[in-house]
A and B are shown apart, each in its own frame.
Chain A
Amino acid sequence: MGNKQTIFTDEQFEAYQDCTFFTRKEILQLHGRFHELAPHLVPLDYTNQPDVSLPLALIVSMPELKENPFRHRIVEVFSEDGQGNMSFNDFVDMFSALCETAPRELKTIYAFKIYDFNVDNFLCKEDLEKTLNRLTKGELTPEEVNLVCSKAMEEADLDGDSKLSFSDFENMISKAPDFLSTFHLRI
């Protein structure tokens, strides 16, 4: 118990509680998970905010992400440098956006970023293809992928520029009530 108290100061806890959707206990739990990934790198004491970040390969090996087809994108999106090197703050960010209580808007923004493979702020055909291939593990033939992509694009694209901007994406997501419950990682 005494050990637990020294990981974060009370102020840090408050800041985390105000800025994320987690309680004190969950933050400790998250820290435990983060520490578990690389016990020799991550210090137990976070009171002086050490600048430690773990590489993508380590984060991706978590059981929650291991089998996720979008794991690399998720980690890249939430890492500060965009390369997948995650500090503890980024780690908390990731689970906060993907937790149950996060609002639809926040989830939509991050989902958009995750599906935007080439980071051009649009979901273009290339992104769609990549998403599809990851989703189906490459089971669809290239023609089918092509067909699905063009149809989906046709359906969701409102302004006819053959790529999905964020508002197109948001509009589409708003029609899918299950999105809120499926875009969710349990810690």
Chain B
Amino acid sequence: MAHNVNFDLTAQHMEAGLESPVDEEGVHDSFNQLIEDQRQEAFELQELQRELDEEERDSVAYLSSPGREIWRGSQGRGEEGEDEEEGRQLDPLIEERWSSATLKVLSSMPSRTIGRSRGAIISQYYNRTMKLRRRRQSRPSIKDFSRSARPSIRGYGMESDCMETEGVDEEGRKRDHLVNNLQNLSLSDRVRMLRAMPLSVAEKSELRRLADRKGQRSNHSQIPCCSQLKYHIIIALRQSWYSCLSFLHSLQLWQVALKRVSGRFGTGVLSYFLFVKTLLFFNIFLFLVTGLFLALPQAVHPPTLTQGHEAFSGLELLTGGGYFSDSVMYYGYYSNSTLYKDCRVTSSSMDQQPSPSVSRRTMEADCGVKLSYSMPLAYFFTIGVAFFITCIILVYSMSKSFGQSFRIDKSHGILAMKVFCSWDFKVIKKTSVKLRSENICTQLRELLEETNRKHVQKTVCQRIGRVLVHVLAWFICIGSTVACVLALYYFSEYMHKDLQYRSRIPTKDPLLKEASLLALPVVVSLINLLLPGLFNATAWMEEYDSPSVNTYVAISRNLMLKVSVLVVLCFHWLGRIASDPHSIGLQCWESFVGQELYRFLLMDFIFTILDTFFGEFLWRLFSQRVLKRKRKPVFDISRNVLELIYGQTLAWLGVLFTPLLPAVQIIKLLLLFYMKQTSVMMNCQSPRKPYRASQMSTIFITLLCCPSFLGAAVCVSYTMWSIRPSESCGPFRSLSTMFQSGKLWVKELETHNPNLAWLAWVHSYIVENPLFLFLAAGIFLIVIYFNTQVVDGQRKIISLLQEQIENEGEDKKFLITRLQAIHQQKRPLSPRRLTSQDSNS
């Protein structure tokens, strides 16, 4: 039993289990021929294996385990049994001269032929088109794959290996097949396949031409005219898609500027500017939605103002109050009435609204009599829909980013990766190139040192010292954060009291009152500016081993600070001001909160300008002129991105109270882009530490989604659901909550139009019933749970596959050695082999 198990079983296993060199022939079947050629050797190999097994019949403990284990076991035993020979073979595998047959087999292994010759590429892609076609034609085939115990990527290529085993004019035939397959694919698949081929354009366009021509011919001969029509439609669609693409391309923003930045600083700093661009698009979207559905209709039908406009004093630009307070910018200006007009008149203004999906919802579409635009409803749904779409876009981009940058991190392979993947091909400026190669040089040296040092054991004292330093650093950071937050809490309370006091006594100087409102934003921005500096100082004290840990710690500290500051501020706005607006003499607390958010956003911007000027420009001058240092300051990417996220959170929070706040944010981001770009080009040098751009941008987009957007969404929905809106202003006056507007509308609809009674029913049961909400949340959570499980499974599969790759490497090593051994046996002239044969027999 023992002797016939091993190699035969593995041979079967190879074919069935899709996981050894044989299935690689699916990728490149010229290997098949060679396999045929080497069948003789393989047979001998089996013989040899039998002999070996007979020798070691006593160590059969492995046999009970399934195929793969046996295979590995047999290998182990093989090595054990003839360790002297093995030792001689495995080790000097490199130096030893291989026989020509071994070399032949080796050189035709698929892993080594990929991309070598045109023929190989063509056949590889032929196989791939086959796969695609089959998967498309027969869905159930996937089931077969999933049944295999161990998933193998290469397994997909398996089925096509029996197709062609012999061939004379390999390349030409393959090409014909490829063309045939290509034309059987759908157009988009064909284009994708063509684009991904590592062939020259000339070659590809030839293939494409052939495929097209054949396709057309077959079209004319076989396919009925409706299919031809379809074909033409597809062609037309594709052409319009291309023109659409080139239009989109011409819209792309800041091409030149981004190229300049990346040419000098590489991918890391570029990711900051790309993040600015992403935020800009989010805000443009938000601005378009609120501007079109809220600001524009309201601006066309201005409400009658009770008091006249205040005079413009200039301070309004900072405080957002005064002249601006009764304008379309703030919540308070919007009317609660339905904007009625005759159908003729309104239809022209309604036509301006492009997206019918939202406008249909927001207006009561009974044009038979009148066309109306219910402002409260529009307000409610616009904000809701805008948040919903933003959420979807965010989650989508987050998942995409995760998909791109998610890899299993392993510490080994780092040096090789550094050699091959550390060059940033975007960098084109001479000095930066020089700097970069110096950086790579030092990084390589550090890595070498690390691998040579092999974990110098630290003494207990050193370790305790380190832990103490970390504890101290965290203590300082958390302590300072808590202190700042408390100070902010009491300061905001003080300011609130001050406002109450001022509201009771009529002040002579309204400007002073306005200016005092700026105190809180200034304090918050100061905290945001100064505390990160303190955090940096503590991080400098700590000396983390790896730069990535350092970055994560810095990010988490900054995040902690910003989140707690925002929590206090939200409490201040929604808890203090909204609950009792009359005590500070406010007619319209929503507008006041909107103004506050405007002030905060602006202050944040002003402090960023100051920071850029002092922290980058003046610091560079100082260090170059006074300290006579050649080094320029380094652009701190993560801190800057976190500031962007903070600003964006403010903008999202403020949309409900200041529908035009996205416009302010757009202007801010535009200015910021140009300012930062000039500052970076003038004052900074590229960072010395390696920056994992794709991983970091994944983290940042996650942060933008999770605490930032979700926090803002929670605040906004809390305001909508449970805070009483002001009674004398805004679209929701006279309602107990903003949410009621939807309810009222449904009721009204029901009375007006009995046919739509089901809508009211749906509304009352689905939207108002908490059970449904719970159910939806539950389903959502379950979906998330399943997704995490799937991701977890994929992670496991990936690590399994990694392991498999390594195992296959081992297998290959083993097989090559065997092959070599057999050749040596066949050539008894070699004196060394003779001795090893002796030891064998």
Determine if A128 and B116 form an interchain contact, defined as CB atoms under 8 angstroms apart.
no
B365 in contact (CB, < 8 A): no
A153 to B415, CA, bound (A): 9
B300 in contact (CB, < 8 A): no
A110 in contact (CB, < 8 A): yes
Interface string of A12-40 (1 = CB under 8 A from B): 00111111110111100000000000000
Taking CB as reference atom, which chain A residue is nearest B408?
A175
A111 in contact (CB, < 8 A): yes
Determine if B809 and A158 form an interchain contact, defined as CB atoms under 8 angstroms apart.
yes
Measured between beta carbons, the chain A residues less than 8 angstroms from B418 are 152
Measured between beta carbons, the chain B residues less than 8 angstroms from A69 are 423, 433, 437
B426 in contact (CB, < 8 A): yes
Determine if A20 and B440 form an interchain contact, defined as CB atoms under 8 angstroms apart.
no
Residues of B398-453 contacting chain A, CB below 8 A = 404-410, 412-430, 433-434, 437-438, 440-441, 444-445, 448, 451
Determine if B437 and A136 form an interchain contact, defined as CB atoms under 8 angstroms apart.
yes
A2 in contact (CB, < 8 A): no
Binds A, one of B42-50, B243-251, B371-379, B782-790: B243-251
Determine if A159 and B415 form an interchain contact, defined as CB atoms under 8 angstroms apart.
no
Determine if A148 and B419 form an interchain contact, defined as CB atoms under 8 angstroms apart.
yes
A160-B425 contact given A110-B198, A175-B408, A186-B258, CB 8 Å threshold: no
Taking CB as reference atom, which chain B residue is nearest A78?
B200
Determine if B416 and A67 form an interchain contact, defined as CB atoms under 8 angstroms apart.
no
Interface string of A44-68 (1 = CB under 8 A from B): 0000000000000000000111111
A117 in contact (CB, < 8 A): no
B267 in contact (CB, < 8 A): yes
Measured between beta carbons, the chain B residues less than 8 angstroms from A183 are 421, 425
- Of the residues B116, B413, B423, contact of A70 by C-beta under 8 Å: B423
B229 in contact (CB, < 8 A): no
Taking CB as reference atom, which chain B residue is nearest A89?
B201
Determine if A63 and B428 form an interchain contact, defined as CB atoms under 8 angstroms apart.
yes
Q: B683 CB to closest chain A CB, in angstroms?
A: 22
Measured between beta carbons, the chain B residues less than 8 angstroms from A155 are 412-416
Measured between beta carbons, the chain B residues less than 8 angstroms from A109 are 114-115, 198
A174 to B422, CA, bound (A): 14
Interface string of B645-675 (1 = CB under 8 A from A): 0000000000000000000000000000000
Measured between beta carbons, the chain A residues less than 8 angstroms from B809 are 158-160, 168
Measured between beta carbons, the chain B residues less than 8 angstroms from A66 are 428, 430
Determine if B114 and A178 form an interchain contact, defined as CB atoms under 8 angstroms apart.
no
A160-B415 contact given A136-B437, A165-B111, A173-B421, CB 8 Å threshold: no
Q: Size band of the B side of the interface?
A: 35 or more
A180 to B805, CA, bound (A): 22
Taking CB as reference atom, which chain A residue is nearest B192?
A103
B196 in contact (CB, < 8 A): yes
Measured between beta carbons, the chain A residues less than 8 angstroms from B812 are 158-159
B466 in contact (CB, < 8 A): no
Measured between beta carbons, the chain A residues less than 8 angstroms from B112 are 121-122, 165-167
A182-B196 contact given A18-B208, A25-B249, A155-B414, CB 8 Å threshold: no
A184 in contact (CB, < 8 A): yes
Interface string of A90-109 (1 = CB under 8 A from B): 10110011100011011001
**Per DSSP, are chain A's interface residues mostly helix, strand or loop, or mixed?**
helix
Measured between beta carbons, the chain B residues less than 8 angstroms from A171 are 802, 805
Q: B111 CB to closest chain A CB, in angstroms?
A: 4
Measured between beta carbons, the chain A residues less than 8 angstroms from B420 are 111, 115, 131, 169, 172-173, 176
Measured between beta carbons, the chain B residues less than 8 angstroms from A156 are 413, 416
A interface residues, tally (CB under 8 Å): 82
A121 to B255, CA, bound (A): 36
A21 to B195, CA, bound (A): 7
Looking at A23, A67, A121, A181, which has the most chain B CB atoms within 10 Å of its CB? A181
B262 in contact (CB, < 8 A): yes
Determine if A186 and B441 form an interchain contact, defined as CB atoms under 8 angstroms apart.
no
Measured between beta carbons, the chain A residues less than 8 angstroms from B407 are 174-177
A152 to B428, CA, bound (A): 27
Binds A, one of B3-11, B624-632, B692-700, B753-761: B692-700
Residues of B245-303 contacting chain A, CB below 8 A = 245-246, 249-250, 255, 258-259, 262-263, 266-267
A177-B115 contact given A20-B201, A69-B437, A151-B451, CB 8 Å threshold: no
Taking CB as reference atom, which chain A residue is nearest B95?
A162
- Of the residues A90, A128, A166, A184, contact of B419 by C-beta under 8 Å: A128
Determine if A172 and B195 form an interchain contact, defined as CB atoms under 8 angstroms apart.
no
A168 to B417, CA, bound (A): 12
Taking CB as reference atom, which chain A residue is nearest B798?
A174
Q: A171 CB to closest chain B CB, in angstroms?
A: 6
Measured between beta carbons, the chain A residues less than 8 angstroms from B412 are 155
A70 to B434, CA, bound (A): 14
B204 in contact (CB, < 8 A): yes
A135 in contact (CB, < 8 A): yes
Determine if A113 and B200 form an interchain contact, defined as CB atoms under 8 angstroms apart.
no
A186 to B427, CA, bound (A): 10
A38 to B420, CA, bound (A): 33
Q: A132 CB to closest chain B CB, in angstroms?
A: 6
B493 in contact (CB, < 8 A): no
A126 in contact (CB, < 8 A): no
B93 in contact (CB, < 8 A): yes
Measured between beta carbons, the chain B residues less than 8 angstroms from A135 are 419, 422-423, 437, 440
Measured between beta carbons, the chain B residues less than 8 angstroms from A111 are 420
Measured between beta carbons, the chain B residues less than 8 angstroms from A158 are 805-806, 808-809, 812
Measured between beta carbons, the chain B residues less than 8 angstroms from A41 are none
Determine if B423 and A151 form an interchain contact, defined as CB atoms under 8 angstroms apart.
no
Taking CB as reference atom, which chain B residue is nearest A21?
B195
Determine if B258 and A26 form an interchain contact, defined as CB atoms under 8 angstroms apart.
no
A168 to B427, CA, bound (A): 27
Determine if B421 and A179 form an interchain contact, defined as CB atoms under 8 angstroms apart.
yes
Taking CB as reference atom, which chain B residue is nearest A174?
B407
Interface string of B188-222 (1 = CB under 8 A from A): 00110011111011101100110000000000000
Measured between beta carbons, the chain B residues less than 8 angstroms from A181 are 267, 693-694
A170 to B112, CA, bound (A): 11
A70 to B195, CA, bound (A): 24
Q: B616 CB to closest chain A CB, in angstroms?
A: 25
A175-B93 contact given A20-B201, A93-B200, A166-B112, CB 8 Å threshold: no
Measured between beta carbons, the chain B residues less than 8 angstroms from A168 are 111, 809
A158 to B111, CA, bound (A): 11
- Of the residues A21, A23, A137, A152, contact of B434 by C-beta under 8 Å: A137
Determine if A17 and B423 form an interchain contact, defined as CB atoms under 8 angstroms apart.
no
Determine if A182 and B445 form an interchain contact, defined as CB atoms under 8 angstroms apart.
no
Interface string of B86-117 (1 = CB under 8 A from A): 00001001100000000000100101111110
Can you list the 8 inter-chain pairs with the closest CB atoms, starting with the nearest? A158-B809, A167-B111, A156-B416, A152-B416, A19-B204, A23-B246, A15-B205, A176-B421
Known: A21-B195, A26-B249, A110-B198. 7 other contacts (CB 8 A): A15-B201, A105-B196, A106-B196, A131-B420, A160-B93, A160-B94, A172-B417
Can you show 14 pairs from A to B with CB atoms below 8 A apart? Answer: A15-B209, A19-B195, A67-B430, A89-B200, A90-B200, A115-B420, A135-B440, A140-B444, A152-B415, A161-B106, A162-B94, A167-B112, A171-B802, A172-B420
